[in-house]
A and B are shown apart, each in its own frame.
Chain A
């Protein structure tokens, strides 16, 4: 059973604001979905096996970076070539 309090705490961990109505609705929906996921509790004795997958590595070669106009083209305002973000505290 997922309570509204649980939903609020996960929303805070996920950094997502919800409306009051959504808190109630999500609590109800999450209960149903997580109950369905409980089928996984019966999985045992198996481990995920990724042998065969091999990483492809890049050589340490410098490639051209993006021109700064293009880097900053998706933001309405920048300052001296920096991106602007809200204050962190």
Chain B
């Protein structure tokens, strides 16, 4: 670390929770590039809050694997970005540090939960950022803010150091203004890490090549279902037609498991979250436990006040879904439904190379627009299938509706991140007219 990057952002969108001013950086493929990191990725010596009051003051004594990777390549880690508490949200309004605003329209949300990273990139504060995606948390804000964001194949990036919300679904991924930068960052963070037992040693070493001619792209009808805003649908269909114009073969298809995907996703992520979020007891880190109370009093009160409403809802629903007598009805059925989603994708990918559709059913909501939890959950319908199946999915800007960005989502089979990148790159080069 021989050089210093001076970072003095005007954070008009509340994109950051923590910023650093004089940021050391080294040599490497990311040398001197300012990079923002979502605040649920552990950074040694830099507070890591997950957007929650319950982690106030916590400074990790270790770096997440991806942090070691990016620092080794010389980037300047300029700060930690705002997010929905523990990743639970689609707007970045559920943060103990206040909502992040959408740079395209400050009366709207940037999407979530990686809204801070998306806003920082969209506003030009940083060219690249790391986000995390449990059910669309990279792709949703990328679509809402008009940037590129990718959820890689599950197992392609180490989760070591990512504060767990729903382990079997989530992954760290790159966010940037171009497909090339997304590809570059993915190359850096996909280095193998044996500490993550769910990781596969298949590093992404690809250089994007604009390639979509001859590619069979499936479009499941369910991706344009009743919840999708017709204006968004129209913009996305135009984009898909442009891909066709570039030589891709477009095939419409069916994905019946979409009927179960969202319910399965929420039952699984809530169940896992209810267990993952049990560790914040104030004994080892975080605001200290009150030793005047008993263990259970102190623990319950801390969880009551330290977690926001959405986190408590999900912990409670997850606790319920795993509880004796309900496990079979919820968790076990959700896992079965998850298998149906995987089976559907497997069948589809035996017929087509990639799948395409809208990333989000609508453009960015207005701040405070979504007050009912279920209606918020429903907006994740198009992004959760990729998490349930562990397949790679990217969102790239493909137009606007009333001045707000719309995202095109491209998905591929597991470990075909390269093909997804190439198609997105081709669209980025030629498709955007």
| A, B in one complex | yes
Q: Residue B283 contacts which of A18, A39, A66, A85 (CB distance < 8 angstroms)?
A: A85
Please list the residues of chain B having a beta carbon within 8 angstroms of any beta carbon in chain A.
57-59, 61-62, 194, 197-199, 259-260, 262-264, 266-267, 274, 281, 283-286, 288-301, 303-305, 307, 309, 312-313, 315-317, 319-320, 323, 329-330, 333-340, 342-343, 372-374, 377
Interface contact A85-B339, CB-CB below 8 Å: no
The reply to whether B59 and A74 contact each other, CB–CB distance below 8 Å, is yes
Listed residue (A15, A76, A83, A85) with the most chain B CB atoms within 10 angstroms of its CB: A15
Q: Which of A14-70 contact B (CB under 8 A)?
A: 14-18, 22, 26, 29-30, 32-34, 36-37, 39-44, 46-49, 53, 55-56, 58, 66, 70
> Which of B288, B292, B304 lies in contact with A18, CB distance below 8 A?
B304
- Provide the residues of chain B in CB contact with A15, threshold 8 Å: 296, 299-300, 303
Out of A16, A30, A87, which one reaches B295, CB within 8 Å? A87
- Scoring A residues 73 to 89 as 1 if CB is less than 8 Å from chain B, else 0, what string do you get? 11111000001111111
Q: Is the CB of A83 within 8 A of B336?
A: no
A-B contact count, CB below 8 Å? 146
Interface of B: prevailing SS: helix
Given A16-B312, A39-B263, A75-B288, residue A29 in contact with residue B374 (CB < 8 A): yes
Also in contact, A16 and B291, with CB within 8 A (given A29-B373, A43-B260): no
Residues of A within 8 A of B297 (CB): 86
Asked if A48 and B338 make an inter-chain contact with CB atoms under 8 angstroms apart, the answer reads yes
Tell me, rounded to whole Å, the shortest Cβ–Cβ distance linking B351 to chain A.
Answer: 20
Contacts of A47 in B (CB 8 A): 336, 339
Interchain CB contact (< 8 A) of B260 among A7, A39, A48, A66: A39
The reply to whether the CB of A1 lies closer than 8 angstroms to some CB of chain B is no
Known contacts A14-B316, A36-B263, A40-B334: does B294 contact A87 (CB below 8 Å)? Answer: yes
Across the A-B interface, give the 10 residue pairs with the lowest CB-CB distance, nearest first. Answer: A17-B304, A74-B285, A48-B335, A40-B333, A14-B319, A70-B61, A46-B336, A16-B303, A86-B298, A86-B295
Count of A interface residues, CB-CB < 8 Å? 47
* Nearest residue, chain B, Cβ from A83: B283
- With A29-B313, A40-B263, A40-B264 known as contacts, the answer to whether A46 contacts B199 (CB < 8 A) is no
Q: How far is the CB of B315 from chain A (nearest CB, A)?
A: 6
Q: Which of A26, A33, A44 contacts B377 (CB 8 A)?
A: A33
CB pair B300 A17 closer than 8 Å: yes
Would A18 and B260 be within 8 Å (CB), given that A13-B319, A41-B333, A76-B288 are in contact?
no
Contacts of A88 in B (CB 8 A): 294-295
- A30 and B317 form a contact (CB under 8 A): yes
Could you list 16 A-B pairs, sorted by A, with CB under 8 Å? A14-B319, A22-B309, A33-B317, A37-B330, A40-B337, A42-B260, A43-B333, A43-B337, A43-B340, A44-B336, A48-B336, A53-B198, A56-B194, A56-B199, A86-B289, A89-B294
Please, which residues of chain B bring their CB within 8 A of the CB of A76? Answer: 288
Residue on A with the closest CB to B274?
A14
